[in-house]
Amino acid sequence: MFGTPVRVAAAVVVAAGALAGCGGGPVKMGAAALVGDDRISVTTLDQAVRDWQRQFKTDQNANQMRADPGNPEQQVASDTLSESDLRGALAVLVNFRIGKKVAASSGVHISETQVDQVIASLDRQGGAGSTTLANGLPRSYTRELARFLATRDQVAAKAGADGNPQSPQTMQAQQQTARLFMDTANGMKIKVNPRFGSFDPNQVTIRPVTARLSAADPGIR
């Protein structure tokens, strides 16, 4: 679950290509997801993925980071918004909110300076903006991704991580942090519009749609 920032983000916040989806189609009005009292609108999600799609196409580093020979759909963005892209981006947005809850419950405060430090680190490893694109969101979400990663690292540090990713202490702290994210997700009221799938708190992912909704299904509001 933990490792390089790119792999960490892809594992924890679920890169879009990791989720198999159905074809594109009209998006229902209302909320894409509810996380407690926080509403992620379909409009916000749709715009984020459209911006991502445009930026991702021309970012070679992002394409290399995201490339998966076993999943051709994950390597390039098409001209049509797939439900896989929408669901993956929604999973990231939901996980950002879980990260905020984890930070609050753990007494972790992430300063803007710490966010800047994570961004600088990502820039040295291929680009912070490219990393954000590789995780299915446009560059405008780079600071949110950096804050999420900083939260993860600070929570792990409080659990005993010593900075060496191969040490037993760090590995144990990472496992504790992963469990904390899952436990936090389990305790939050997270509801995903069935148009996009269903939230699995035990894996901190959004599972793909298993059956098409009827035209009369209102989703969530």
Tens digit of each residue's pLDDT (9 = 90 or more) over 164-197: 999 999 999 999 999 999 999 999 999 999 999 9
Task: Write out the H or E segment, with its range, that includes residue 199.
Answer: strand 198-200
Number of Cβ atoms within 10 Å of the Cβ of 15: 24
Cα 111 to chain centroid distance, Å, stands at 21
When the pLDDT of each residue in the chain is averaged and rounded to a whole number, the result is 82
Q: Does the CA dihedral 201-112-116-45 come out positive or negative?
A: positive
pLDDT value, residue 21:
30
Task: Write out the H or E segment, with its range, that includes residue 207.
Answer: strand 205-207
CATH no., domain 5-207: 1.10.4030
Query: Is the pLDDT at 10 greater than 60, yes or no?
Result: no
Could you give phi then psi for residue 161, rounded to 5 degrees? -60, 135
> Which residues, listed in sequence order, are joined to residue 205 by a DSSP beta bridge?
200
Structure pTM? 0.80
Q: How many Cα atoms occupy the beta-carbon half-sphere of 153 within 13 Å?
A: 21
Q: What tokens appear for 145 in the block? A: 């991704």
Query: Can you spell out the DSSP letters for 26-54?
Result: PPPSSEEEEETTEEEEHHHHHHHHHHHHH
Task: Dump pLDDT digits (tens) for 110-162.
Answer: 999 999 999 999 999 999 999 999 999 999 999 999 999 999 999 999 999 99
Task: Write out the H or E segment, with its range, that includes residue 153.
Answer: helix 142-158
Q: What tokens appear for 124 in the block? A: 């040295």
Query: Is the pLDDT at 25 greater than 70, yes or no?
Result: no
pLDDT band at residue 216, thresholds of 50, 70 and 90?
A: very low
pLDDT band at residue 23, thresholds of 50, 70 and 90?
A: very low
pLDDT value, residue 202:
82
147 closest CA partner among 161, 159, 132: 132
CA distances from 206 to 169, 185, 192, 202, 203 (A): 30, 12, 8, 10, 8
pLDDT value, residue 68:
64
Residue pair 97/184 in contact (Cβ under 8 Å)? The answer is no
Residue range 202-218: average pLDDT?
69
pLDDT band at residue 76, thresholds of 50, 70 and 90?
A: low
pLDDT band at residue 219, thresholds of 50, 70 and 90?
A: low
pLDDT value, residue 125:
93
Higher pLDDT, 87 or 75: 87
Domain ranges of the chain: 5-207
Query: Is the pLDDT at 108 greater than 80, yes or no?
Result: yes
pLDDT band at residue 13, thresholds of 50, 70 and 90?
A: very low
Residue pair 35/95 in contact (Cβ under 8 Å)? The answer is no
CA dihedral 96, 100, 103, 106 (to 10 degrees): -110
- In angstroms, the CA 150 to CA 50 distance is 27
pLDDT value, residue 78:
55
Task: Write out the H or E segment, with its range, that includes residue 191.
Answer: strand 190-192
